[in-house]
Structure 1
Amino acid sequence: MAMVGLFWIAEGDVYVGAKPAGLTPGVRLTPEGVVALGDGRSGLHLWEDVHALTVADVPVKSLLRQVNAVRDLALNTVLELATSLGSAWGDDTPPLMTVRVEASDGEHELPAYVAAAVGYTQTEADLSQALLARLTEGAATMETTLAAMAQWGRSREGGSPRGPEREELLRGWLG
């Protein structure tokens, strides 16, 4: 499993945001279309009906966001050590992004959890948005792009690549 921009690629599966587990919300990109996952969110939006695909509420990495993440981790660690109650300081649930699917039958807003703990770089966010737009340009473009992403995921061993490599991958998938 690896994160590249706004995408989470697990073996041959491509998700926008974090890969969902159980009934949590998520969005998967398949050769057939955009799939809404999670409790009460199941649905398929076929690529032939999708006119636009964007993500709103993308947290962009900043120094303040990084400082807050370190502070929260330190506070949770202290609380866990000081009490037997575990982490009672705050909600450990990652923030949500909104995947907007503009389709023939209207606009759909699909929630997906953020995969990056302190947010995404502006460059990765921009390249990811461009890649999402590219997926709606036509069947041949979508199939080639998704196939390249899935193939990379199947051959990837280890965790997520470093920032420059992630940007290079996104640029390559953009063609």
Structure 2
Amino acid sequence: MAMVGLFWVTPDAVYVGSPPTAIGSCVRLTAEGLEAEDPDGSRAWTWEGLRSAVVEDVPAESPSGRATKFFGSMISAAFGAFLGEGPPEMTLRLETEAGPEAVTVHSAAAGGYGAEEAALSQDLLARFVAGTADPRTLEEWGREHSREGTPKPREREAVLRTWAQA
């Protein structure tokens, strides 16, 4: 498993924010669209049915203690998921054909995300909605690289740029 920007990538799936929490909450990206799971059930939207998708309330990383916070956040997110406690919450705001929707997603980085990494992630999410990028690119990367763990910040930014151009 690996965190790249606002995405959590495994060999089998790609999520916005963290992987499924202990109570099953998550937002998964697929070639067809977004799938949201929470204790109240599941919802899905096709990319064609979305006008926009933006993650709000993204926790910002402070420049000091970046590495310590990163590793601490990974442990915190994993431990919190194990105990049923969610990591910090973000909101995925969707504009759909039927109107606005809001979905809670959990941060995979309790210490926050770097500004560039968050901006590149938002851009990539917008490209999925516009049909100019394909989530299967992330899935392929996950099958090849996610077992290596989370790349360093500059490497994550480079990966996000590559995904946006694929």
One-letter amino acid of the structure 2 residue matched with residue 164 of structure 1: R
Q: Whose Rg is larger? A: 1
- Whether the 8 Å CA contact 2:24–2:38 is kept in 1: the answer is yes
Tell me the residue number matched to 2:114: 121
Name the SS of the counterpart of 2:48 in structure 1.
helix
Unaligned 5+ residue runs, structure 1? 74-90
- Say what the alpha-carbon RMSD is for the aligned residues: 2.4
Distance 1:64 1:94 in 2: 21
Q: How does 1:44-55 map onto structure 2 within 5 Å?
A: 44-55=44-55
Identity %: 41
Distance 2:85 2:164 in 1: 34
- Whether the 8 Å CA contact 1:18–1:112 is kept in 2: the answer is yes
Give TM-score, length-normalised by structure 2. 0.82
Distance 1:22 1:117 in 2: 17
Unaligned 5+ residue runs, structure 2? 74-83
Name the SS of the counterpart of 1:48 in structure 2.
coil
Distance 1:165 1:64 in 2: 19
Name the SS of the counterpart of 1:129 in structure 2.
helix
- Whether the 8 Å CA contact 1:131–1:174 is kept in 2: the answer is yes
Distance 1:121 1:8 in 2: 15
Distance 2:86 2:33 in 1: 27
One-letter amino acid of the structure 1 residue matched with residue 34 of structure 2: V
Tell me the residue number matched to 2:126: 133
Query: Structure 1 residues 169 and 63, CA, compared in 2 at 3 Å: closer, same or farther?
Result: closer
Equivalent pairs, count: 151
Tell me the residue number matched to 2:56: 56
Distance 2:47 2:38 in 1: 20
One-letter amino acid of the structure 2 residue matched with residue 102 of structure 1: E
Distance 1:33 1:6 in 2: 16
Name the SS of the counterpart of 1:161 in structure 2.
coil
Tell me the residue number matched to 1:26: 26
Tell me the residue number matched to 1:153: 142
1:110 maps onto 2:103 in alignment: yes
One-letter amino acid of the structure 1 residue matched with residue 155 of structure 2: E
Tell me the residue number matched to 1:6: 6
Distance 1:117 1:65 in 2: 13
Give TM-score, length-normalised by structure 1. 0.78
1:162 maps onto 2:155 in alignment: no
For residue 22 of structure 1, report the CA deviation from its aligned partner.
4.2
- Whether the 8 Å CA contact 1:18–1:114 is kept in 2: the answer is yes
For residue 17 of structure 1, report the CA deviation from its aligned partner.
0.2
Name the SS of the counterpart of 2:135 in structure 1.
helix
Q: Select 1:172's aligned residue among 148, 155, 162.
A: 162
One-letter amino acid of the structure 2 residue matched with residue 100 of structure 1: R
